[in-house]
Structure 1
Amino acid sequence: MSDLPPLRESLEAHGLLAKKSFGQHFLLDLNITRKIVRLAGPFEGRAVIEVGPGPGGLTRAIVESDAGPVVLVEKDPRFLPLLNELDTGDGRLRIIEADALKVVEADLVAGPAHVVSNLPYNVGTPLLIKWLTGPWIPHAMTLMFQKEVAERIVAAPGDDAYGRLAVIAQAVAEARIVMHLPAAAFTPPPKVASAVVHLVPHADRPDREMLKRLETVTAAAFGQRRKMLRSSLKQLGGGALCEAAGIDPDARAETIDIAGFLRLAAACGS
């Protein structure tokens, strides 16, 4: 990696600019990308998937680390020649031109793998939900989001940001913000600050059927978050459902903890 030109020079040489339609904002400071990789690791030889690597600022740091196979999923073909320059010839790097929302991760890596990404802003939340609720379970995820989205992931009951995303994420994984970044750290700078969230799936995470019920319950509860649960959950059983789950029917969604929502999801399927 030390033999490569600075990222800004590589971008200029290839005539590349960020595409707003892809939600692209490049992180070119290798001091920052190396810190993110340190927060994500140690990898101990496990595979790492990076989505939306763009010019490869984060990729350079991953390749320098103790990661095993490194799989890049990039939708924008303009970056493929630039990413190919990061191949050291040791067989670790694999570049896939694809939409990350459509790829099957189990086909990309064998065994447990980390996901480390500066996610494109327009698909960050759908990708997180895919990895939280889909059949493929990552070893851990270290992901950059807009600050507002990151706060929604880690929010606690009673917080203004507490909602569906917090419940689903924390039902599946331990989630915490490990780094904040100002808009000025990116090229071009976005209109908002960003934050890196580290998620480690629980050993006893809910199964996929329970997660489907949880998505149904949280959609109803937070869809009318200012209403009492007896009203917002009316189509699912209302007061009777709450009582079966040991939840106060007069409570509002924003006050119910993760365990409470899991009880509601279990009762919803009984």
Structure 2
Amino acid sequence: MADLPPLREVIARHGLSASKALGQNFLFDEQLLDRIAAIPGDLSGKQVLEVGPGPGGLTRALLRAGARVTAIEMDRRCLPALAELGEAFPGQLRVIEGDALKIDHAALMGGEPFAVLSNLPYNVGTALFVRWLGGEEWPPLWTSLTLMFQQEVAQRIVAQAGGSAYGRLAVLAQWRAEAKMAMKVHRSAFTPPPKVMSAIVHVVPGTMPEGVSARVLERLTEAAFGQRRKMLRQSLKGVSGAVEALETIGIDPQRRAETLSVAEFVELARALTN
């Protein structure tokens, strides 16, 4: 195992500071980082995708766990520190400079299964999450998503119908996958400390319901929760056939989106898919 200098020392030596524009907050607690890397289970020899590694705090923990890490980083200030990590763990780390939103992750990982672990930059976290959850092909190449979010976002992902946190993210995360809150992380663990608490969500693929198009479900949730205070008969007017389908399957069109369970959204999407 490589004998690495403390993260604070690495950051100071390279003159790094967290970029607010890039949504960066650095984690220094190595024990905490090791606990995060352990959430998906044994990573020894397995492919891991990390987005926004920054100076490489979580990357270290993943490499210590024996993972083969592909890290996507758009902040070139961090590349020298990541290069040092690559030298300390020969053959285990590949660093790609670029925007994770513009990269085909499946192609990047060679079409092989991979786990995703990331302290996601706040400004792209939700967009990446929705993208990983999308697509008609299921199960996906990713075997699990272990992601750091603002705690409020994490709560929206694992929320149940009827609560104020329940919305589009919950439905997209739960209709064919299992999502749970794996760990809460206090704001004081970061440098600089963000204004909000953080939490780690762990998602594993489940069984995809038959006869349901992912795109139809995405369109439904986008419309329904885009006007969440309105009745479904109003919010779904722009989705062809949706209001009629509600009545066909016995869902009262006067209900609001947050009252529909994930199963009811799936049933509605199935009716429109067919």
How far apart, in 1, do the equivalents of 2:148 and 2:42 lie? Answer: 18
Q: 1:138 aligns with which of 113, 138, 142?
A: 142
Q: 1:248 to 1:94 in 2, by over 3 A?
A: same
Deviates more, 1:53-62 or 1:215-224: 215-224
Identity rate of aligned residues, in percent? 53
Q: 1:242 aligns with which of 246, 264, 269?
A: 246
Partner of 2:98: 98
Structure 2 stretches lacking a partner, 5+ long? none
Partner of 1:61: 61
Q: Does 1:125 align with 2:126?
A: yes
Partner of 1:7: 7
Partner of 1:227: 230
Partner of 1:86: 85
Give the alignment's TM-score, normalised by structure 1.
Answer: 0.94
How far apart, in 1, do the equivalents of 2:9 and 2:183 lie? Answer: 27
Give the alignment's TM-score, normalised by structure 2.
Answer: 0.92
Q: CA deviation at 1:137?
A: 3.3
Structure 1 stretches lacking a partner, 5+ long? none
How far apart, in 2, do the equivalents of 1:172 and 1:73 lie? Answer: 27
Partner of 1:42: 42
Q: 1:187 aligns with which of 191, 196, 210?
A: 191
Spell out the pairing of 1:192-211 with structure 2 (5 A cutoff). Answer: 192-204=196-208, 210-211=213-214
How far apart, in 1, do the equivalents of 2:94 and 2:60 lie? Answer: 13
For these two proteins, the number of residue pairs brought into alignment is 268
How far apart, in 1, do the equivalents of 2:30 and 2:20 lie? Answer: 23
Deviations 1:127-186 (A, max 9, x none): 001111146531101000000100010000011100011111111310000100111100
Q: 2:219 aligns with which of 205, 216, 220?
A: 216
How far apart, in 1, do the equivalents of 2:183 and 2:203 lie? Answer: 13
Q: CA deviation at 1:268?
A: 2.2
State the Cα RMSD in Å. 1.7
